[in-house]
Amino acid sequence: MNAFTHGAWRRIRVVAREEYRRALETRWLFGFTALFAVLVLGLSYFGLAQGREVGFQGFARVTLSLMNLVLLIVPLTGLMLGITSIAGSSETLALLLAQPVTRGEVLLGRFLGLAAALSAAQALGFGGGGVVIALNAGFGQIPGFLALTALSLVLGWLTVAAALCIASIWPDRLQAMSIGLLLWLGLVVAYDLGVLGTTALLRGAPLQAVLFPALLLNPVDLVRILVTLAVGSGALFGPTSAVLAGMFGSHAGIAVGVTVLALETVLPLAIATRVFSRRDW
């Protein structure tokens, strides 16, 4: 049993390393890294330009300004990276599956390789910009910035898992891309409008009875709330933050949110593994 487990993980690592290498060879991933570094530095340096103040601001302002941009860019990048890894790559996939490796090992290896590549790009972008800010504006409020960085990594893993699930169910690249874009639009735009409409229709129901389940079902909103709680301003950023903090307290609320994010990563990955193993590639 131990030998089988060791051999399986060795094969998974081989697939993951190859997928990591292939992902880093794509130029747009380097552009993604540079974009994050530019956003971090630009929001810090020009954050008060409207007040005719130019210069590096601390991490508190950067974190809250950067958060909404992160929640737009990271899910889209994770979805596109994961979908293009499987959908439309039948020739290379068939060659890989002809090797002495199981389909479950292939999918898990690809997930780990893609997640590592996306995490490396995010870490370089956030880290490079963060070092410059720390040297010029100090380390004040850096825990919130670190929380945003960590949660953006988690959101990247989650969306890669969702992308692999989509690509396993719909292997045609155009179809998978379309579904991925619809999912992204639903998470970052339409979901909040739907929740607002639901709360307006259910005026007699307690606010937390609607907002709390809705919050847990949308990882993008959940990451937003967890960042605001980590910064310490949760109650100031809308009713969903106040609901989460009020029901669980900030530390317990963060723990519940992180647990839900982990489940929302594992579930689509498990579905992807099941579908991927049964499909005739």
85-131 per-position pLDDT tens digit: 998 777 778 888 888 889 999 999 999 999 999 999 999 988 888 88
185-208 per-position pLDDT tens digit: 999 988 877 777 777 776 655 666
Query: Coil, strand or helix: which one is 48?
Result: coil
Quickly count helices (H) and strands (E) in the chain.
Answer: 11, 0
Name which of 94-98, 173-177, 246-250, 264-268 the model is least confident about: 246-250
DSSP-assigned letters across all residues of 195-220? HHHHHHHTTTS-HHHHHHHHHHH-HH
Sequence-ordered strand ranges (E) for 67-187: none
149-181 per-position pLDDT tens digit: 999 999 999 999 999 999 999 999 999 999 999
Q: How far is CA 220 from CA 46, 69, 104, in A?
A: 26, 11, 28
DSSP 235: G
222-238 per-position pLDDT tens digit: 898 888 877 765 544 55
Give 3-state DSSP helix, strand, coil % of the chain, rounded to 5: 85, 0, 15
Say how far apart CA 184 and CA 228 lie, in whole Å. 22
Question: What is the dihedral angle through the alpha carbons of 219, 224, 230, 235, rounded to the nearest 10 degrees?
Answer: -120
